[in-house]
Each structure stands twice: as structure tokens, then as C-alpha cells.
Chain A
């Protein structure tokens, strides 16, 4: 999978990468993925499709991709990366629906005349079973985006401290969201 480079002949360190698997090929998959993402961003943001601007884009994206590819993709595996992105794309609409529903709840609280009797702020702690950092990042941001809960503290080991505004919000933790985030990153 890592060897799907289309520029294999210009590869600088093919012999040493065989001895040392940690050192990857220069124009490998990581380079091309970074390049494609950079180039797509370039085209959307410039909006100019003549030869001059496109070639400028190719040159700068190639430089950026070569410098950053090995930092961006610690362990590149096209199939797994695509699976993660696909599952994340499925997760986002669900999250948006949750944000919408929870926002209505927040609206109700905000305009309720006896709001201070309805809310019951407290700190909630729980241990998450998510074990990778990207999953923890998505989980923490999802908790903050769904109103009623703000992530106060996250550790790499998966400990979360959350400030919940009322009983309903506190009861929903970690709950379904954790299952869904964990499912994104299972292989």
C-alpha cells in the first residue's frame, strides 16, 4: 500500500528504507495525499484555472507536501484513512442533528423565566474507552459543541471532566456519542 508511488524512479532513499522501515519513501503515498489536499485547497481558494496559476499551485503544493508529508501522516495506509474519513463523514450529520436538538434545549433554558431553578450546574467526570488522540480530540470538541456540556479537561489516557448545565445534559454522558466516535476509529 505504501508503495503506490508513481515516481518510484526518482525515489531518493529506496535502499535505506528497506533497512529502516521507519524512514519512508520521499514520494510515497503520504506525499501524494498531502499534495492532493493542498492542490484542492489551492484551486478552491484561488478560483483561477489558467496555466500560470495552476503551475504556481503545483510548485508550491509540491514544496509544502514534501516538507510536511512525513509530519502529517505518521502511519499512512490508504484503505484505513479512507475508511476513517468515510465514517467521520457519516458522523458529522448525526452530530449536526444533536447540535440542533441541544441548541433548542439551550434556547428554552435561556428564555425561561425561572431559569435558575431549571439549571443545575455540576462537574461530571468519566473515563472514556477511546484510546487514540484524534478520537479524543473529536470527542472533546463534540461534547463542547453540543450545548449543555463543556469539556473542562481531557487527558491522553481518556479521562474527561465536563461541566454540565443541567440534569438532562449530564445524563447523556458519555453515552451514544462515545460509541459513535469510537466506531469511527476502529479498524
Chain B
């Protein structure tokens, strides 16, 4: 039962990571690419790391429990630093004067070519 939960969580997390990579390729410009990059990743991380922690806790001893806490600490630190890093990247874009991509209502063919 525990193994099934762990496997489901792992694959769900990997799916989010995969979606994040696809998003980076599909979105139109620098700013919108950061949305999947910075955040589908954080969900994928939460799911995969929870799976790891759950799997470790399944051994029922103190060492395993401490390891699980350490794994969850990774999640906490990433959740603090990842938005900060995303913000730093966006800020660099703004300072360099890059204008955001805006949808033009007729020219989608042109956008796809660009």
C-alpha cells in the first residue's frame, strides 16, 4: 500500500517536472517561460520529495524519521529560494529593458513563426 502511494506520488511529480520542461519550450517569451520553469518544478519537487520521505518513514526507526525530516527541509528551503531566484531572473529581464510578449489578436500565425 505504501509502495503504491510512493510510486503514484513519484510519477505525478515526474509528470510535473516533464510539464515544466515542455512549458519552457512552448511558451512565447522570456517572462511567460518563467511561469512553468519556476512553478511546475516546485510542485514536482514537493511530490517527489514527499514520496521519498514517505518511503523512508516506512522503515519505522529514528534514523529513517530524521532522514525524512531532512528531505522535507530540502522542500522548505527550495520553496524559499526558488521564488527568490525566479524574481531575480525576472528583475534582470526588466532591468535589461525586455518588453513582455503581448497577444496580438490577429497575428497568431506570425507569432508562431517568430
- Residues of B with Cβ closer than 8 Å to A? 16, 19, 22-23, 26-29, 31-32, 34-36, 38-40, 42-43, 46, 62-63, 66, 69-70, 73, 79-80, 82-84, 86-87, 90-91, 94, 100-103, 108, 111-112
Contacts and interface: CB of A to CB of B under 8 A. Distances in A.
Nearest to B24: A110
A63 interface: no
Nearest to B20: A110
A110 B38 contact: no
A117 interface: yes
Contact of A106 (B23, B63, B103): B23
16 contacts: A44-B73, A45-B70, A99-B42, A100-B43, A102-B39, A111-B19, A116-B103, A116-B108, A119-B103, A121-B29, A121-B32, A141-B79, A145-B82, A147-B35, A147-B36, A163-B100
A144 B91 contact: no
Interface of A: 44-45, 47, 96, 99-100, 102-103, 106-107, 109-111, 115-117, 119-123, 140-141, 144-148, 150-153, 163, 165
B110 to A, nearest CB: 11
B32 A117 contact: no
Contacts, number: 108
A166 to B, nearest CB: 9
Contacts of A147: 35-36, 39-40
Given A103-B16, A107-B40, A151-B87, A163 B26 contact: no
Contacts of B35: 106, 147-148, 150, 165
